[in-house]
Amino acid sequence: MTSTLQTPRPESGASPIASSLRGRQLPRWVPPALTAAAVLLALVGVFGPVGAWLVLVGWCVAAVIPIWSLAVEGSRKAMDRLVTLLVSTAFAITLFPLGSILATVVSRGAPVLSSEFFTYSMRNIVGEGGGIYHALMGTLLITAAAAAISIPIGLFTAIYLIEYGDGTRLAGWIRFLVDVMTGIPSIVAGLFAYALFVIFFGPGVRMGVGGAVALSVLMIPVVVRSCEEMLKLVPNELREASYALGVPKWRTIVKVVLPTALAGIVTGVTLAIARVIGETAPLLVIAGLTDSVNFNLFDGRMATLPVFTYFSIIVPGVPPGPSIERAWGAALVLLIIVMLLNLAARLVSYFFSPKGER
Amino acid sequence: MGCPPGTTAPSERLTIVTSTQSPERRRTTPTRPGDRIFRGTSLAAALLILATLAGVAVFLTAEGIPGILASPDEVKHGTGFVDYVAPLVFGTLLAAILALTMAVPLAIGVALFISHYAPRKLAAPLGYVIDLLAAVPSVVYGVWGISFLAPALVPLYRWLEDNLGFVPLFAGPASATGRTILTASIVLAVMVLPVITAICREIFLQTPRLHEEAALALGATRWEMARLAIFPYARSGIISASMLGLGRALGETMAVAMVLSASGVVTFNLISSTNPSTIAANIALTFNEATGLTVNALIASGLVLFVITFGVNFAARAIVDRRKDFSGAN
């Protein structure tokens, strides 16, 4: 024992054992201090009056850490610090478009919002004035119709997958194809609805309910996946307790399984609605655009917010100014609706999910 | 059970039950009409999904075939179908692949940041922030791309043309509006980034804790731990996430239709004002003015897009499923 303690001969420094085991390190305060300085510089660069080049300066300050580390700690540690820097940079880069989108849409859309903007349609309007009432109603109606189609189909499919067909080959295939269906391009869904309705109504058909069908194609797989996940979370003991009391299977599902999973199902459905309410391409193909209010899903063209936004900015007319302003306003309203739906979904899952499940 | 205890062997009991009309038989759960209806409804819903998927293929084919067979003088674009769709396929693939080259490394970095680098408490909110990117509607991306991003990138394109003009990709002349295929790809990259990030993040988080701790115990730095423990485990997941992102990028319509100023050429020049168009954007831009067989040709091009994305998604999901079966680490 004594010999092993004495072998590292004191050459220099106060604690030879510690230094021989630890290797040289950057002073403790250096990485946090430099990181803080870099973040501060970047924030000033983005929000402050100086200019965006400060972001680059900030990054260079942060880049000092791996270089210094290479000199002091060696290549392995330096590599680790470099990767930390790169990974954080990747995250910062990703924040940029999000911030930029929110900032641009809010700053250019907010001045447009007024009571007239929400209560007027575009009927007989040239140039200034007018509003999104017709598009807002169209979006709400078509999305509601899509939800009315998708939620029962999606929910029952999820019930089949979990309660009836679990483990069967058919269920495996359906699960797989639902996953594949998630990736159907939105425009293809629109073309499908068009090709379907052309058979009954002839070429050039435009109809609100067609948009609802197209959106359902996009919405059903999302609903199925989220409902399936939620039904999976319902503990089997609950089902067995219900069976033991002699309750039939369907009543067990209706009275025990679904209420337990309700919060999750509501969350999933809300997120699915949020996903399709902003879809443009299918509605462009099958619902078209009109300047008037149309409450009838089965009668001709129907304006929707995304399509209205698209045409307002692509075909602004003369003079282009007011139309482009309306496009920003409509984009902001759309963004607010989607964000509110997302928020609602999170709140539902936060407050109403059974305790201890997730 | 109601039988007298210990008197009959199981086989005898069985014969007794089947030979006589004993009360035993009524104890098996009767199938109630409610059960049968409920089971039938849910099976029907599941089969309806299969029918929808088949219907997408069938209806697109039925409406698309006349467009494929149309002679050049019957359609607006005035060429055979293959000549019509080939440049569009090229543009679609070019834009999607460019978008992926930008998005995949970034997405892996972001996912790694959220799962292993960010402070624990911040991880969930940060993931939520990235998910917000996925919630932004595509038309909002389009509005942003056309009025903010494209003008902002013009100086960069000028610089690329002046300094890297010898590379065919940046031959120029640089577009004055910035509405190039590179801009469209950047917007696409931002749109697919949250998709790839979300999947990668999930998989990184699933890395067996023991693998990570073993690597750290052997003295690995955090990066070496990522290389030794996380990436080998997550490789197939990263691949399939990228392919799902690819499927999304291939089919994305509005952002490309709005941002890109397309002229339908085949070129690798990324920053000029003449750009290849994509299938989806082309449909969105021309569908409303199209009549007669032109509509059918557009639907046929949609069918081509459907087949491509279906193939990509099918392969991606197959990889994910295989990984579930054979990952061995679970």
Greater model confidence, A22 or B260: B260
pLDDT score, position A16? 53
CB-based contact B254 A306, cutoff 8 Å: yes
Digit-coded pLDDT (tens) for B179-217: 889 999 999 999 999 999 998 998 898 888 999 999 999
Residues forming a β-bridge with B275: B262
Interface contact A334-B139, CB threshold 8 A: yes
The pLDDT of residue A18: 55
Q: Which of A196-200, B108-112, B180-184, B289-293 has the lowest mean pLDDT?
A: B289-293
Domain that holds residue B295: 80-326
- For residue B15, being part of any structural domain is answered with no
Determine the average pLDDT of the residues in A70-95. 89
CB distance B143 to B258 below 8 Å: yes
Q: How far is B201 from chain A (nearest CA, A)?
A: 13
Backbone angles phi, psi at B275, to 5 degrees: -125, 155
Give yes or no for residue A142 having a pLDDT over 90: yes
Q: With respect to residue B120, please indicate whether it lies within any of the assigned structural domains.
A: yes
Using a CB-CB cut-off of 8 Å, the residues of chain B touching A278 are: 136-140
- Among A94, A161, A310, beta carbon nearest to B106: A94
pLDDT at B317 over 90: no
Please report whether residue B198 resides in a domain: yes
Q: Does B307 touch chain A (CB under 8 A)?
A: no
| Average pLDDT of the residues in A153-178 | 90
Considering only the beta carbons, identify the residue of B37, B39, B117 that sits closest to A87: B117
Environment class of residue B13 by beta-carbon count within 10 Å: exposed (0-12), middle (13-18) or buried (19+)? middle
Q: pLDDT confidence of A252, banded at 50, 70, 90?
A: very high
- What does the angle CA A254 – CA A262 – CA A221 come to, to the nearest 5 degrees? 95
Mutate to test the interface with B, among A94, A151, A243, A339 (most CBs of B within 10 A): A94
- Domain presence at residue B74: no
Cβ-based neighbours of B112, under 8 Å, separated by 6 or more: A87, B200, B204, B226, B230
Nearest to B295 by CA among B93, B65, B86: B65
* Beta carbons of A101 and B284 less than 8 Å apart: no
Q: Which of A120, A110, A145, A121 is nearest to A303 (CA)?
A: A121
At residue A282, the pLDDT reads 92
- The percent of residues above 70 in pLDDT, for chain B, comes to 88
Cα R_g (chain A), whole angstroms? 29
Q: How far apart are CA B144 and CA B129, in angstroms?
A: 19
B253 near B270, Cβ under 8 Å? no
Report the distance separating Cα B84 and Cα B89, nearest Å.
9
Q: What tokens were used for B282? A: 């082309």
B275 in helix, strand or coil?
Answer: strand
Contact B44, A257 (CB under 8 A): no
Distance from CA of B196 to the nearest CA of A (A): 13
Question: Any idea of the CA torsion for B108, B114, B118, B119, to the nearest 10 degrees?
Answer: -160
Higher-confidence position of A10 and A21: A21
Return the amino acid letter for B104.
V
pLDDT of residue A339: 92
CA A245, chain centre distance (Å): 42
Instruction: Identify which of B60, B147, B258 has the shortest CB distance to residue A310.
Output: B258
Distances (CA, A) of B261 to A206, B212, B299: 27, 48, 22
What mean pLDDT value characterizes chain A?
A: 86
DSSP letters spanning B21-74? T-GGGGGSPP--HHHHHHHHHHHHHHHHHHHHHHHHHHHHHHHHHHHHH--GGG
Distance from CA of A15 to the nearest CA of B (A): 22
Closest listed residue to residue A157, CA positions, set A179, A180, A175:
A175
How far is residue B307's CA from residue B316's CA, in Å, rounded to a whole number?
14
B14 is a domain residue: no
| B contacts of A273 (beta carbons < 8 Å) | none
The fraction of chain A above a pLDDT of 90, given in percent, is: 42
Residues whose CB is less than 8 angstroms from the CB of residue B324 and which lie 6 or more positions away in sequence, other chains included: none
Tokens of B136: 């932004």
Instruction: Locate A116 and state its tokens.
Output: 């007239």
Residue A154: closest C-alpha in chain B: B45
Residue B55, exposed/middle/buried by CB under 10 A (0-12, 13-18, 19+)? middle
A123 secondary structure, DSSP code: T
Using only C-alpha atoms, what is the Rg of chain B? 28
Q: How far is Cα B271 from Cα B183, in angstroms, rounded to an integer?
A: 8
Least confident of A16-25, A38-47, A348-357, B230-239: A16-25
Residue type, A105: V
Complex ipTM more than 0.95, yes or no: no
Residues of A in contact with B35 (CB under 8 A): 248-250
In tens, the pLDDT along B81-95 reads 888 889 999 999 999
Highest mean pLDDT out of A1-5, A293-297, B8-12: A293-297
Cβ of B288 within 8 Å of Cβ of A86? The answer is: no
Residue type, A45: G
Report yes or no on B88 lying in a domain. yes
What stretch of H or E contains A48? none
pLDDT at residue B15, rounded to an integer: 45
CATH of the domain at B185: 1.10.3720.10
Nearest CB partner across the interface for B46, out of A174, A180, A334: A174
What does the pLDDT look like over B17-42, one tens digit per residue?
Answer: 444 444 555 556 667 888 889 999 99
Q: Is the pLDDT of residue B14 over 60?
A: no
Question: What's the rounded Cα separation, in Å, for the pair A316 and A319?
Answer: 7
Residue B172 and residue B268 in contact, taking contact as beta carbons nearer than 8 Å: no
Domain membership flag for residue B202:
yes
Q: Over chain B, what is the mean pLDDT? A: 83
Chain A residue numbers with beta carbons less than 8 Å from the beta carbon of B291 are 203-204
The 10 Å CB-count burial string (b at 16+, else e) for B186-201 is bbbbbbbbbbbbbbbb
Q: How far is B273 from chain A (nearest CA, A)?
A: 17
CA B259 remoteness from chain centre: 21
Cα B297 to Cα A267, B117, B287, B309: the distances in Å are 40, 50, 10, 18
The chain B residue lying nearest A284, using CA atoms, is B284
CA B186, CA B99: separation in Å to the nearest integer?
6
Sort residue A83 into left (φ over 0), alpha (ψ -120 to 50) or beta: alpha
- Determine contact: B231 vs chain A, CB below 8 A: no
**Spatial contact of B172 and B158, defined as CB atoms under 8 Å apart:** no
Subunit contact A280:B253, Cβ cutoff 8 A: yes
What's the mean pLDDT in A57-76?
A: 86
- Whether residue B203 lies inside any domain: the answer is yes
Phi, psi torsion values for B262, nearest 5 degrees:
-95, 145
Give the count of domains, chain B: 1
pLDDT category at A4 given cuts 50, 70, 90 is very low
pTM equals: 0.85
Strands (E), chain A: none
Residues A321 and A340: beta-carbon distance below 8 Å: no
Calpha distance B223→B228 (Å, rounded): 9
* Mean pLDDT value across residues A156-170: 90
